[in-house]
A and B are shown apart, each in its own frame.
Chain A
């Protein structure tokens, strides 16, 4: 069953095998600039350590031998490099999919997870972008639910234009749903 062709729901009993499968959804990968963004943001994070390294190297009154300072710095930088590599690989695995009734986000390299949020449960939608994201033409989409912090979904690394479109689309869906809901309440 292709969920995109589905026109409406009925509520008779359905065998679990006939229910649409979330794994059939076709995932969109993130914006192509997202990889560069992860690299740059990791580098910016590593910058203070590197600067500290160079300064410590140059300062005469640090009582440690040069190679010891070097060792400490390498020990600090190795995790950062690993994190950078992880984020680079993860950027390739991340993805999102929009179905008629829900939005799906995928992430993780070793510990993988797929999160599905029904549109019917979204309370409000928001797109945000920091300066670095702006420079890469990226934005993140935040979907808020009534279930508190843990039930909110944040999709990062979207193309800014796509994020805005997605937001508008979801807002429109929520508006329709709420109008329908209040009509049903009035009846």
Chain B
């Protein structure tokens, strides 16, 4: 590639702005709690005014600028034929080297403030116990495209000049998208995604405080005005419950709408493009991102349908790569290769695009009913014993606490049944898919050759009934199939091992 010469290079001077904004953003994000505290402090304290606030903010902004300048001054990168080296560090120098063959995902991101500068932020992800990544905070977009092609091995072939400018210009002749999501699809994705729970967690507590205080004010005013008899209001519990229910419903609808709008902003114009040996996805309104995923690094395809998604027939698909995702990141993980807003009709076509071929998945095999009866009986024995104990030990032999426990028990039994019914597996000797979930569902599909480790385990109960549980460890995490017939568990384990050992002779 002639665009990239192999010398140590500094980032363009315009990238200081990017570093600056990025650094401030990160500072704010990482110290969100401190900022909330400070904000409350300002609001409460009399002696602290706007002048102090301005001074503080100015100090932070100036320090940030200084850090960005030093960072830029010390940041160097070098692109070789087969690797990228980065030298950086504010106080101590750090040198990283990434071999291109280890890179499994090249991410581009162009936030709105980088667009006029023609710069792109590049992230290279490599597999590890927890994924590691190397960042180039802002390099010219042509160089970024060249780098991406080098990594994907496309550099060896002739690259058309259009492709380099493709990232900058929206109107350049686009390759055919394998999947694209409309704003309506994305809105539905946002509504159904679990993001709503995060929103609820962030805004729920302050919002409920506000609602409570304004409600009590309102009730006070009402009673003071004497128009409504508040005694009558508190005497109508059904009305009150109805009111509260309505409130909860409207708040959830509002949150869903907000979540939908956020999804539109985040994934705006989502397009999935299949190239010879990789996938690319482009999306974003304010922050235009491009992610690429090398075909051979993709080893698991997960189709997810949340509980609300099942009602609306909405799916999203996640492409899994090597490297365990820590659970605390899993919720809103940026590193996953996510395809949002797929309706039921288009799911199969997206899946076969990712898979690279059609697959007539064999019929689901259910988990043995003994799994359900075992769980049910254990939970029931424990909870009924607890109910009895409560009844015996509580003074006055009250009957409602044990009754409540029994009610809870019934609820749990229902959930166990749902969980058992959802859990299923299907395999045909090359691929396997496993479905699980409670109200929602997710289906993980993978090539059997990708398995890392197989474990067959049995409890005394299982041995009595000739059953076994199977744990399949994959590069991104483990999958369990409980309570299979022993012969079936052995058969799947044997085929998994055969595939893993014969198809790919070298590790991932």
Task: State the Cβ distance, B432 to closest chain A Cβ, in Å.
Answer: 12
A23 engages B453 (CB within 8 Å): no
Does more than half of chain A's interface fall in helix, strand or loop, or is it mixed? Answer: mixed
- Of residues 461 to 476 in B, which have CB atoms within 8 Å of A's CB atoms? 463, 473-476
B500 engages A118 (CB within 8 Å): yes
B interface residues, tally (CB under 8 Å): 41
Interface string of B471-483 (1 = CB under 8 A from A): 0011111100000
Judged by a CB distance under 8 angstroms, whether A162 is at the interface is no
Question: How far apart sit A120 and B501, CA to CA, in the bound complex (Å)?
Answer: 6
List, in ascending order, chain A residues with CB within 8 A of B475's CB. 146-147, 151
Known A16-B429, A120-B507, A123-B507; judge A102-B129 contact (CB<8 A): no
A185 engages B459 (CB within 8 Å): no
Does more than half of chain B's interface fall in helix, strand or loop, or is it mixed? Answer: mixed
Question: How far apart sit A179 and B490, CA to CA, in the bound complex (Å)?
Answer: 32
**The one of B127, B458, B473, B505 that contacts A151, using a Cβ cutoff of 8 Å:** B473
The stretch of B181-189, B246-254, B408-416, B491-499 that contacts the partner chain: B491-499
A151 engages B502 (CB within 8 Å): no
B453 engages A145 (CB within 8 Å): yes
Q: Which residue of B lies closest to A174 (CB)?
A: B507
Known A9-B502, A181-B506; judge A108-B457 contact (CB<8 A): yes
Known A121-B508, A146-B508, A150-B477; judge A19-B453 contact (CB<8 A): no
B452 engages A116 (CB within 8 Å): no
B505 engages A16 (CB within 8 Å): no
A180 engages B478 (CB within 8 Å): no
Judged by a CB distance under 8 angstroms, whether B456 is at the interface is yes
Question: How far apart sit A177 and B456, CA to CA, in the bound complex (Å)?
Answer: 27
Question: How far apart sit A113 and B473, CA to CA, in the bound complex (Å)?
Answer: 14
List, in ascending order, chain B residues with CB within 8 A of A31's CB. none
B457 engages A111 (CB within 8 Å): yes
Known A108-B457, A180-B505; judge A20-B498 contact (CB<8 A): yes
Known A16-B429, A111-B457, A114-B457; judge A151-B452 contact (CB<8 A): yes
Question: How far apart sit A116 and B501, CA to CA, in the bound complex (Å)?
Answer: 11
- Of residues 75 to 122 in A, which have CB atoms within 8 Å of B's CB atoms? 101-102, 108, 110-122
Question: How far apart sit A182 and B491, CA to CA, in the bound complex (Å)?
Answer: 33
B473 engages A116 (CB within 8 Å): no
Question: How far apart sit A163 and B475, CA to CA, in the bound complex (Å)?
Answer: 26
Question: How far apart sit A23 and B491, CA to CA, in the bound complex (Å)?
Answer: 11
Interface string of B116-146 (1 = CB under 8 A from A): 0000000000010110000000000000000
Judged by a CB distance under 8 angstroms, whether A26 is at the interface is no
Task: State the Cβ distance, A121 to closest chain B Cβ, in Å.
Answer: 5
List, in ascending order, chain B residues with CB within 8 A of A11's CB. 502-503
Judged by a CB distance under 8 angstroms, whether A22 is at the interface is yes
Task: State the Cβ distance, B294 to closest chain A Cβ, in Å.
Answer: 13
List, in ascending order, chain A residues with CB within 8 A of B323's CB. 146, 148
Q: Apart from A11-B503, A111-B457, A111-B460, what are 20 other A-B pairs with CB-CB below 8 Å?
A: A13-B429, A21-B494, A101-B497, A101-B501, A114-B457, A115-B453, A118-B452, A120-B500, A120-B501, A121-B452, A145-B452, A145-B453, A147-B322, A147-B476, A148-B130, A148-B324, A149-B324, A150-B473, A181-B505, A184-B506
**A interface, CB within 8 angstroms of B:** 9-11, 13-14, 16, 19-23, 101-102, 108, 110-123, 145-151, 153, 177-178, 180-181, 184-185
6 CB < 8 A contacts A-B: A16-B491, A110-B459, A115-B455, A117-B453, A147-B452, A180-B505
